[in-house]
A and B are shown apart, each in its own frame.
Chain A
Amino acid sequence: MTQVANIRELVTRNMRTSGIYIAFVVIIALFAVITDGLLLAPNNISNLVLQYSYILILAIGMVIVIIAGHIDLSVGSVVAVTGAISATIVIKNGMPWWMGVLAALGAGLLIGAWQGFWVAFVGIPAFIVTLAGMLLFRGLTLLVLDNISLSPFGKPYTTISAGFQNGLLGGPGYDVFTLVVFGIAVAGYAFSQWRSRRARLAYQQSVEAFPLFVLKILVVAAVVMWFAYQLASSRGLPNVLILLAFLIITYSLITSRTVFGRHVYAIGGNLSAAQLSGVKVKWVNFFIFVNMGFLASLAGVVFSARSNAAQPAAGNMFELDAIAACFIGGAAVTGGVGKVTGAMVGGLIMAVMSNGMQLMGIDQSVQQVVKGLVLLLAVAFDVWNKRKAGTGR
């Protein structure tokens, strides 16, 4: 029997995940009105993506760490040390840009393996291991950089973050290429939604009513194409956005469709049960941290390319932004729950708020207060929601 879900069910059934999207829309609308539309100006949107890309990259790794029931406090320092290594190679030693990138990524993998070893095989809580890592890698950054900034990287290194794909197909005042890429993405989205709907119907699961389904896709398509148009009329498609989109899709698939992803959720949901179901808990934990180290080094490359320098204090407090993004995005403090897309929306909420408040000329100190309160309220909402649904553990 096929049950057709109505709108209300769609909203209430998954208040936990849909709540965050509603909040996101409300926050955008709020700041758009307050800033007289400045927030949604093409150049600002383009900037916003560039400015928060590294936090989003970190949040992808962080949400996996958090789902498994761990935490990583070291990512800010890892961003700094990998950027420093890259700068030493490219700027100090004059080697090609890709050598710097490879060295940074290699260092990230090693750092991840180091932390993963202590967490997974020695059994030290991740909080302690990464707290130590936070100090350790910050110290190494200072050593590598000899306490001074290194700059500039110069092109082509900086195009990793500051570059755009623009003018490939020309266009009157806006970049057609950007629009085409987004158009293909939207078509792909619609197709995959339609396929999963058909599969669900074939397995006699409940789906939303067809008009609602079409409406949902049209709304998503409209929003995405509007966003694409804004980018196209600004500087075109940022390279970082291509990287980010690739990472989001890849990691969404990894968490939801692979055995590894399942094992991450299983470990976070009930460690003992996972162990007794044959999950190789130690190796899964190890690779979670290797992956976090890799993504942190990628964020390190992106950040150093964007700032065109490696600084001793780079990446300071990034870990907190990444962690906040995950929790605002619906990850559970106790582990076992969370989504890559949720963490992305969580990160964007923080980005829009910071950006909006900057446009309004609000003081940095007040911004911090507001961000802190939003994090607290988001988790409080989650706890309240869980209690209402009666699924608390």
Chain B
Amino acid sequence: MSSNILEMRSITKTFPGVKALQDVTLEVQRGEIHAICGENGAGKSTLMKVLSGVYPHGTYEGDIVFDGEVVSFGSINDSEHKGIVIIHQELALVPYMSVAENIFLGNEQRGTGGLIDWNKTNAEAAKLLARVGLDENPVTPVGQLGVGKQQLIEIAKALSKEVKLLILDEPTAALNDSDSEHLLDLLRHLKGQGITSIMISHKLNEIAEIADRTTIIRDGRTIETIDMSRPESTQDRIIKGMVGRDLEHRYPERTPNIGPEVLRVENWTVWHPTQDRKVVDDASFTVRAGEVVGIAGLMGAGRTELAMSLFGRSYGRNISGQIFKRGEPVQMRTVSEAIAHGIAYATEDRKKYGLNLIEDIKRNVSAAGLHKMSRRGWVNGNEELKVAEEYRASLNIKTPSVLAVVGKLSGGNQQKVVLSKWIYTDADVLILDEPTRGIDVGAKYEIYTIINRLVAAGKAVIVISSELPELLGISDRVYTLAFGRITGQLPVQDATQERLMELMTMEKETDKVQ
């Protein structure tokens, strides 16, 4: 048997008008962790869909050799049957069903008479949970568990199918650092048990940490496969391969020109909408004109909740505290009031909360600023088109037309549409929640440039991000948020990742006593 568990040879996949994959070759050795890197739209997901049978045999050119034999999958079931399991970025679990039910969904443990044997189901589930290191009762509904644990359940589900090759698409994108660490440990552990993994990831430090080899894909072609054990296989090397150019500066230069205070929040407290606990606890902070303020916090620290509760009370209940705009106290009870006071909030989940995916670019750009282009309730369609064209040009939204449907754009271009929408409202405080999540390195740089242009024009920008290097790279000042409280404030010169992490994990003394 060859040392390669998988060989994909000269895979070419064409969609009407586009060559998504051209002559792509991928070789994965038995028992390794193989990372696949590439910008969004490079063809990583398409390649994995070809491999797992989502695009059935015959719709692509080239051969797939798995476990020593040429395979032709007609569907996902075929590939799973051979031991290839793919775990998608969006988890496919049913929230109201128990952990055990989810693990054996579609693969139910039958007893006599074809009825489900619940004792066996739960017992087997418990064994699988132990293998992935998850200490949960198999009868717990999945919806009660966090994203990190759900990810582990997906892996347990894969193990139940006697997986040989596990494919993970952006497994840590939605996880906090400790959950990510746990997941990477588990992958190493599975490797020890002889399970091969393919991991698609944007997080280069994780790849450097865990992958044995990395294949870089760019514009639908394989660029190279590099051995990560070699000293020259650095993150910069991978980035160079992904973007095809040296990215010496991942963050554009900016000379801060900071003006007077624009927004001040005092003693902001927000309660969870249904549970009896504070999500934001007595938070106070300020932002000045021309300043980028970063907010760092782990998942669940209350970052998004803080931002959304400020933005017209879109989240939470029993909200108390004061907001001052240019020194004057203001009330923002609804989103439209917040917009009228010049606040903008670009959400962390642009597909779910930020965009109307079935509409065109034009109508998404105008969605929050229709009042500016309408008189007595009538929208000026020509003005709308003009505005959309202006933002397409100035923010470099890559599209054949502003009449293109937003759902078809890449993540980076979708994010530019979201930014266009908020910039058009003439906001002078822009709260950007994870503005570069799920977008590729090149588009990230463009987003940073846009942020720089905004502050150069005297706007105040608040950036919420999970990526500490990003916050350090673009902010002037960083607040840390832990368990709903602001635990620190550092000028960026004094901040390091270690110092921030320390503050982000700082628990309140009284909490420990309770």
Contacts and interface: CB of A to CB of B under 8 A. Distances in A.
B335 A270 contact: no
B174 interface: no
Contacts of B339: 278
A337 B358 contact: yes
A365 interface: no
B385 A205 contact: yes
A147 interface: no
A263 B355 CA distance: 13
Nearest to B338: A278
Nearest to A263: B370
Interface string B436-460: 0000000000000000000000000
B345 A276 contact: yes
Contact of A266 (B311, B356, B385, B407): B356
Interface in B385-438: 385-386, 389, 401, 403, 405, 407-408, 421
B367 A274 contact: yes
Interface string A255-278: 001111011011001101111111
Contacts of A276: 311, 314, 335, 345, 347, 353-354
B358 A393 contact: yes
A258 B370 CA distance: 9
A336 B407 CA distance: 13
B374 to A, nearest CB: 5
Interface in B461-489: none
Contacts of A260: 377
Contacts of A262: 363, 366-367, 370, 379
Nearest to B340: A278
A278 B382 contact: no
Contacts of B354: 273, 276
A199 B358 CA distance: 24
B325 to A, nearest CB: 17
B382 A203 contact: yes
Nearest to B335: A278
How many chain A residues sit at the interface, stated as a range, is: 20 to 34
Looking at B356, B379, B403, the one whose CB has the most chain A CB atoms below 10 A away is B356
Contacts of A273: 352-356, 367
Given A258-B378, A274-B356, A266 B336 contact: no
A266 to B, nearest CB: 6
Nearest to B421: A277
B403 A270 contact: no
Contact of B377 (A259, A265, A272, A278): A259
Contacts of A279: 335-336, 367
A345 B335 CA distance: 38
A391 B405 contact: yes
A280 interface: yes
Given A270-B357, A276-B353, 6 more contacts: A202-B382, A265-B363, A269-B358, A273-B356, A277-B335, A280-B336
Interface of B: 311-312, 314, 334-336, 338-339, 345, 347, 352-359, 363, 366-368, 370-371, 374, 377-379, 381-382, 385-386, 389, 401, 403, 405, 407-408, 421
The list of the 9 closest CB pairs from A to B, nearest first, reads: A269-B356, A278-B336, A277-B368, A277-B367, A278-B335, A270-B356, A272-B353, A278-B339, A203-B385
26 contacts: A199-B382, A258-B377, A258-B378, A258-B379, A259-B370, A259-B374, A259-B378, A262-B370, A263-B370, A266-B356, A269-B356, A269-B357, A272-B352, A273-B352, A273-B353, A273-B354, A275-B335, A276-B311, A276-B353, A276-B354, A277-B335, A277-B367, A278-B312, A279-B335, A280-B336, A332-B358
